[in-house]
Amino acid sequence: MTEEAFGPVAILYPFDSFDDVVSSVNHSKFGLQVGIFSVSLDHVWQLFEHAEVGGVIHNDVPSFRSDSMPYG
């Protein structure tokens, strides 16, 4: 969970609250994109509003890219 992986990797761990999820995202040294799998649009919107990342991907992996798009 501390190194960037270039392959199909999924890391799952529990949280006590969704605020802890956002905090964990913001304390990572990575931040290009984040993927969230959730049926709660409130959680998606909260992550979109508060995550310090370049993009938020809902119900898909964070691999969307277009080489003409700036990141960061």
Per-residue pLDDT at 13: 78
- What DSSP string describes 1-68? --S---S--------SSHHHHHHHHHTSS--S-EEE--S-HHHHHHHHHH--SS-EEESS-S----TT
Residue 70 lies in a domain: no
Residue 47 lies in a domain: yes
Residue 3 lies in a domain: no
Which class for 55: exposed (0-12), middle (13-18), buried (19 or more C-beta within 10 A)?
middle
Domain count, the chain: 1
In which domain, by residue range, is 28 found? 18-58
Residue 6 lies in a domain: no
Residue 63 lies in a domain: no
List the pLDDT tens digit at each of the 72 positions of the chain: 667 777 777 778 789 999 999 999 999 887 788 888 899 999 999 999 999 988 888 998 766 666 666 655
- Is this prediction's pTM over 0.85? no
Residue 32 lies in a domain: yes
